């Protein structure tokens, strides 16, 4: 039978498939592979959160909810920012979303017109550039440099701003570099946004995974009227499959987001939202978060210590998230070729830095969100392969 040629809308054709997913699927077909690729907690969701979802189902939470989310969860998020950061927000500043993914998508679609400019770091998480394409916005890349601890330079931001600049994307603790944003830099970016009347999309899902003396400063603390803060339960509470997140923004922006959200998904699953209330308000949940943070810290030390001794690799110690971003330039391969070479010769998956932007060339991303035993084995394999070069 002759296959029909189907018409596909240009906006769908513009989207580039994630290199992370491509490598993951390729590796799944090779026996004995250790994946240090996808950034997903290997921990199970804390029991009390799962039990809350089960109770919610038994209690009849199987129906539609308000588009913006249930009142109790929105109130719990208000309480959370007050308790953790001494930041006052209102319920009208919150919308419940299907993860931070939907939150960032809503921000791009709500705030950007065709031809507007959005400043996106390079390297940066893969979805931002694709969201910008869908919004028909022009992408302006802001270099993140290793010698600057992968933090943005406020002076460079100012140089990139034009009369078409509408938004800048910030993501700290950072994916893929593991960097954290120092307070003075965060305040400087906030001041720039206020001075030039642009928005900050601040994507903050790794805020609780900090190490050594690192601290997190939510951008709404410094520029509440200019910030769209996207956050997620996925990483904090090991709830990736639940698809639960939220956005905090000025109420006028939230109202616009609610209208779009209503036509995209309607509402996040009702019983999942009830579980989110339990996650935020229960001490049991937060004890689990701290246990995860301690375990990630131990894994981080194992990976960094091993990488620092390997030929051709240099690495800065990350202070946040659960990623290491080693420099592989001395090895003499491109990031993509090195990732393929490791898969072929060590059966270990790492992500080429170029998956996150052109300035990711010369680096790879390693996720340590997997067991110590697998990390040690992966480091052994990488070292053995490198020693044969």
Q: How confident is the model at residue 124 (pLDDT cuts 50, 70, 90)?
A: very high
pLDDT confidence tier of residue 91, bands split at 50, 70 and 90: very high
Mean pLDDT of 242-263: 98
Question: How far is CA 84 from each of CA 32, 169, 174, rounded to the nearest angstrom?
Answer: 42, 23, 20
| Average of per-residue pLDDT values in the chain | 95
Region 59-282: CATH code: 3.40.640.10
H or E stretch at 302? helix 283-308
Which pLDDT score, from 0 to 100, does residue 20 have? 67
Decide which of 3.40.50.1100, 3.90.1150.10, 3.30.70.20, 3.30.465.10 is the CATH code for 10-44+285-387.
3.90.1150.10
CA separation for the pair 375, 350 (Å, rounded): 12
Burial 135-172 (b: 16+ CB within 10 A, else e): bebbbbbbbbebeebbbbebeebeeebeeebbbbbbbb
**pLDDT beyond 60 at 125:** yes
pLDDT tens-digit readout, 304-355: 999 999 999 999 999 999 999 999 999 999 999 999 999 999 999 999 999 9
Two tokens, residue 11: 């906006």
Q: pLDDT digit string (tens) for 7-57? A: 888 888 888 776 666 767 776 777 889 999 888 999 999 999 999 999 999
Please give the pLDDT value at position 16.
75
Answer for the pair 199, 227: CB distance below 8 angstroms, yes or no.
Answer: yes
Sorted by where each begins, the domain ranges of the chain are 10-44+285-387, 59-282
- For the stretch 68-83, pLDDT in tens is 999 999 999 999 999 9
CB distance 227 to 194 below 8 Å: no
CA distances from 57 to 65, 99, 151 (A): 14, 20, 44
Residue 37 in tokens: 């690729």
And the tokens for 339? 């990732």
């Amino acid at each position: 039978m002759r296959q029909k040629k189907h018409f596909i809308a240009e906006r769908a054709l513009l989207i580039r498939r994630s290199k992370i997913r491509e490598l993951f699927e390729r590796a799944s077909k090779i026996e004995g592979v250790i994946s240090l690729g996808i950034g997903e907690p290997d921990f199970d969701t804390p029991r009390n959160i799962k039990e809350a979802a089960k109770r919610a189902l038994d209690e009849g939470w199987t129906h539609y909810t308000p588009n913006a989310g249930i009142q109790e969860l929105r109130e719990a998020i208000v309480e959370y920012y007050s308790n953790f950061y001494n930041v006052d927000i209102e319920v009208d500043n919150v919308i419940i979303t299907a993860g931070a993914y939907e939150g960032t998508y809503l921000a791009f679609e709500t705030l950007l017109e065709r031809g507007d400019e959005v400043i996106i770091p390079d390297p940066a998480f893969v979805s931002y550039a694709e969201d910008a394409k869908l919004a028909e916005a022009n992408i302006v890349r802001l270099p993140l440099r290793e010698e600057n601890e992968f933090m943005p330079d406020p002076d460079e931001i100012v140089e990139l701003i034009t009369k078409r600049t509408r938004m800048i994307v910030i993501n700290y603790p950072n994916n893929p570099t593991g960097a954290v944003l120092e307070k003075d830099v965060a305040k400087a970016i906030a001041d720039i946004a206020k001075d030039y009347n642009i928005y900050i999309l601040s994507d903050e899902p790794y805020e609780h995974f900090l190490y050594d003396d690192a601290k997190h400063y939510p951008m709404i603390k410094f520029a509440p009227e200019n910030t769209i803060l996207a956050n997620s339960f996925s990483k904090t509470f090991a709830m990736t499959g639940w698809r639960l997140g939220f956005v905090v923004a000025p109420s006028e922006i939230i109202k616009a987001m609610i209208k779009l959200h209503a036509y995209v998904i309607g509402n996040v699953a009702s019983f999942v939202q009830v579980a989110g209330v339990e996650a935020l308000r229960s001490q049991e949940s937060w004890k689990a978060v701290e246990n995860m943070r301690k375990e990630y810290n131990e894994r981080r030390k194992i990976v960094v210590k091993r990488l620092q001794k390997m030929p051709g690799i240099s690495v800065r110690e990350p202070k946040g998230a659960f990623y290491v971003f080693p420099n592989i330039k001395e090895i003499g391969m491109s990031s993509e070729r090195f990732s393929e070479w490791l898969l072929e010769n060590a059966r270990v998956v790492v992500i080429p830095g170029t998956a996150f932007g052109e300035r990711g060339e010369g680096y790879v991303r390693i996720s340590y969100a997997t067991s110590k035993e697998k990390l040690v084995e992966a480091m052994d394999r990488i070292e053995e392969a490198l020693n044969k070069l």
